[in-house]
Amino acid sequence: MYKKTPLPRTRRLRNITGCLLALSVLASALSSCGKGSTAETSHASTSAVASSSQATAATTTLNATESLPLPTSSTVTYPAAKPLDDLFRTFYEVFVYSYADGNGDGIGDFAGLTAKLDYINDGDPASMNDLGANGIWLMPIMPSPTYHKYDVLDYKAIDPQYGSMADFDAFIAAAHVRGINVIIDLVLNHTALDHPWFIAAVDALAKGDFNNPYVSYYNFSQEKKDNTWYQTAAAGWYYEGKFWSGMPDLNLASEALRTEFENIMEFWLVDRKVDGFRLDAVTEFYSGDDPQNIEVLSWVNETAKAIQPDAYLVGEAWSGFQVYKQYYRSGIDSLFDFAFADYSGLTVRSINLENGRDYAVNLTNAQKAILEIAPGAINAPFLSNHDTGRLAGFLASDPGKLRLAAAANLFTSGSSFVYYGEELGMRGAGRDENKRAPLPWGPAGTNGLTSGPPDMEADGYSYPFGTIAEQLEDPASLLSYYREAIRIRTLYPEIARGLTALAPGFDLKAHCAVAKTWTDDEARAQRVLLVLNFSSEANSQVLPSEYSGWELVASLPSPDGERVTMDQASLNFPPFSVAVLKPSA
Ligand SMILES: [Ca+2]
Ligand SMILES: [Ca+2]
Ligand SMILES: [Ca+2]
């Protein structure tokens, strides 16, 4: 447990001899010894972090009170933090196909996902044996002719590859027991070519039955308007297929189609107990017509909220900030924060430029712009997803940059999303299948391992930081880091919910220093100061007078396991480390 009591004096007096001896058995202590003097003084003043440096004494025969190495992820423990049950969550994006196989056919399924749900959240706020996410976004789960299932054949069923509806219901129940809300992908822009609606519509066209309601479901024309229009089986008629010929675009102006989707939303929210939807391709409902798309989103939002007032909706408006921020006018809860994501987004760019200050300015301005449009908006930050390629590739597998990116994403206000495998530093690029590779539970033969999409290339993905089994054993692993960052996010609810402002007095270009304020349910103002060191070098900063008396309550380490320390009124940052400060109680 996490104690606020000061360290026993013997631990504060950790001497250089002890450090050198620890060195011989714990490689990760190497760099911490170089900072011996700072570490010693700081441990006296940063009790919240330092006092939990129990354990790892088993590595030596030294007197335990003299030889403790600096804490690594697994040696820092936190109080049990029960997440608030609201819409600000930590989401984990799951591709069921590649998550866990429950029946041995190599394809992930709901039986496998349910059996391995403890990895995401074990339901015990006191344990850290899990990622600690309390939201899951399931990529499409409905019957489909493709492995990715973004072309739907039946909106009220489960693809048999993934199991039965009973398997799905069991998964939802298991998720809810653990405090996990589940949202599912809802594809409103198009269906599969073999969807019964499309077959009926083309049949009607062929018979000249133009008033058949199914004809209104799709976009048909007697001219081939451009190269996204394709010939139907009905002579002289074309259909729109914005993404490809196998996905005919729906016509969301059709009242009959809207009624179908109202029933579909009710089916999932009420009968199947899902907690909301991730809305695919919202900028393509009417390609190039944002006001029309926003009108469709308003209808989706009103429909879902009328069925289930606390349903959560997040839209994929894959565009620039000035465009997607406008989609908040629809009233939708969240939109993915594309400006900060992907290889060219603000997060990766700022990290590569070691420019934390610009990042902080962008973060603050983006939140302000979104809240001006919709005061209730919940930003949806992310780093990568199933379309973008994987984060570890964007950052050349640099352990420090990967950790900092994780912290930047998880410490942004809103509902943060983590793409499965990002917490392991999985790589995957090139064709889409490579970005959707199997979650590596362990070596070949490990229970639950999937075989991945059929056209995945052997050299298109990799696991540079090892499997889950390997990273679970390593307190300094990227996985351990994600667990700790999510735990801190949960412990201090103002990190996800706070209004962000630039913290005055931080002088280094490398520092992203932001203060957040949030009023909790008991009308208390909660404040937190976050300082992320975007530099690959150690540096320090005098704590600005504004924060005089604030305490270092948590930190995230450099890849070598070094922690931020506070020495008198100076904060000392190892490379790529993060400090979390709160006013003294
Ligand atoms: Ca299977
Ligand atoms: Ca737990
Ligand atoms: Ca469309």
Q: What is the DSSP string of 5-27?
A: SPPPHHHHT--HHHHHHHHHH-G
- C-alpha 291 to ligand 3 mean position (Å): 14
pLDDT value, residue 54: 30
> Residue 4 pLDDT more than 50?
no
Task: Please write the tens of the pLDDT for every residue from 138-163.
Answer: 999 999 999 999 999 999 999 999 99
> 368-373 contacts: CB < 8 A, separation 24 or more?
369/321, 369/325, 370/325, 370/328, 371/499, 373/325, 373/326, 373/328, 373/329
> Residue 242 pLDDT more than 50?
yes
- C-alpha 120 to ligand 2 mean position (Å): 9
Top-confidence residue, 38 or 209: 209
Taking the C-alpha atoms of residue 551 and residue 535, their distance in angstroms, rounded to an integer, is 23
- Do 183 and 202 belong together in one domain? no
- C-alpha 516 to ligand 2 mean position (Å): 26
Q: Are 100 and 110 in contact (CB under 8 A)?
A: no
Q: Are 109 and 161 in contact (CB under 8 A)?
A: yes
Ligand nearest to the CA of 229: 3
Neighbouring-strand partners of residue 427: 462
Ligand nearest to the CA of 190: 3
Task: Please write the tens of the pLDDT for every residue from 424-459.
Answer: 999 999 999 999 999 999 999 999 999 999 999 999
pLDDT value, residue 24: 30
Taking the C-alpha atoms of residue 285 and residue 227, their distance in angstroms, rounded to an integer, is 17
Ligand nearest to the CA of 120: 2
CA proximity to 453, closest of 144, 133, 242, 245? 144
Average pLDDT over residues 201-219: 98
Tokens of 46: 């940063």
- C-alpha 463 to ligand 2 mean position (Å): 25
- Do 220 and 323 belong together in one domain? no
pLDDT value, residue 79: 85
- Do 231 and 374 belong together in one domain? no
Taking the C-alpha atoms of residue 429 and residue 392, their distance in angstroms, rounded to an integer, is 10
* Percentage of the chain exceeding pLDDT 70: 87
> Residue 44 pLDDT more than 90?
no
Q: State which of 442, 471, 488 marks the end of a domain.
A: 488
> pLDDT-based confidence at 55, cuts 50/70/90?
very low
Handedness of CA 438, 441, 443, 447 (dihedral sign): negative
Sequential DSSP letters for 359-404: HHHHHHHHHHHHHHH-TT---B--S--TTT--HHHHTTT-HHHHHH
8 domain-assigned: yes
- Do 48 and 135 belong together in one domain? no
pLDDT value, residue 46: 26
Return phi, psi of residue 100, to 5°: -155, 135
DSSP 206: H
> Residue 311 pLDDT more than 50?
yes
Task: Please write the tens of the pLDDT for every residue from 102-115.
Answer: 999 999 999 999 99
Taking the C-alpha atoms of residue 149 and residue 165, their distance in angstroms, rounded to an integer, is 16
Q: Are 127 and 535 in contact (CB under 8 A)?
A: no
Task: Please write the tens of the pLDDT for every residue from 542-556.
Answer: 999 999 999 999 999
Handedness of CA 210, 214, 216, 222 (dihedral sign): negative
584 domain-assigned: no
- Do 233 and 256 belong together in one domain? no
Residues annotated as catalytic are 280, 316
> Residue 7 pLDDT more than 60?
no
80 domain-assigned: no
- Do 387 and 293 belong together in one domain? yes
Q: Which residues contact 491 (CB under 8 A, 6 or more apart)?
A: 78, 79, 81, 554
Q: State which of 488, 523, 540 marks the end of a domain.
A: 488
Average pLDDT over residues 53-76: 35
- C-alpha 285 to ligand 3 mean position (Å): 4
Cα separations (Å) of 224 from 15, 198, 201, 220?
79, 18, 18, 9
- Do 350 and 477 belong together in one domain? yes
> pLDDT-based confidence at 82, cuts 50/70/90?
confident
pLDDT value, residue 17: 29
Tokens of 168: 């799905």
DSSP 82: P
Task: Please write the tens of the pLDDT for every residue from 129-138.
Answer: 899 999 999 9
CA proximity to 531, closest of 54, 546, 523? 546
Taking the C-alpha atoms of residue 265 and residue 79, their distance in angstroms, rounded to an integer, is 38
Buried b (16+ CB within 10 A) or exposed e, 237-254: bbbbbbeeebbbbbbbeb
10 domain-assigned: yes
> Residue 3 pLDDT more than 90?
no
Domain count, the chain: 3
Place of tokens 């064709």: 431
Q: Which residues contact 442 (CB under 8 A, 6 or more apart)?
A: 449, 467, 468, 469, 470
> Residue 19 pLDDT more than 50?
no
Q: State which of 447, 472, 488 marks the end of a domain.
A: 488
Task: Please write the tens of the pLDDT for every residue from 383-427.
Answer: 999 999 999 999 999 999 999 999 999 999 999 999 999 999 999
Taking the C-alpha atoms of residue 439 and residue 422, their distance in angstroms, rounded to an integer, is 10
Range of the domain at 294: 90-188+252-488
> Residue 74 pLDDT more than 80?
no
- Do 51 and 110 belong together in one domain? no
Ligand nearest to the CA of 288: 3
CA proximity to 419, closest of 454, 455, 394, 448? 394
421 domain-assigned: yes
Tokens of 102: 């429950």
137 domain-assigned: yes
Average pLDDT over residues 278-302: 98
CA proximity to 498, closest of 523, 486, 515, 512? 515
Task: Please write the tens of the pLDDT for every residue from 476-511.
Answer: 999 999 999 999 999 999 999 999 999 999 999 999
How many whole angstroms from its chain centre is CA 290?
26
pLDDT value, residue 75: 58
500 domain-assigned: no
Sequential DSSP letters for 103-140: SSSSS--HHHHHHTGGGT--S-TT--SS----EEEEPP
- Residue 136: give its domain's CATH number: 3.20.20.80
- Do 308 and 391 belong together in one domain? yes
- Do 107 and 163 belong together in one domain? yes
pLDDT value, residue 579: 98
- C-alpha 118 to ligand 2 mean position (Å): 8
- Do 128 and 227 belong together in one domain? no
- C-alpha 161 to ligand 1 mean position (Å): 6
414 domain-assigned: yes
- Do 138 and 274 belong together in one domain? yes
Tell me what the pLDDT averaged over the chain comes to.
89
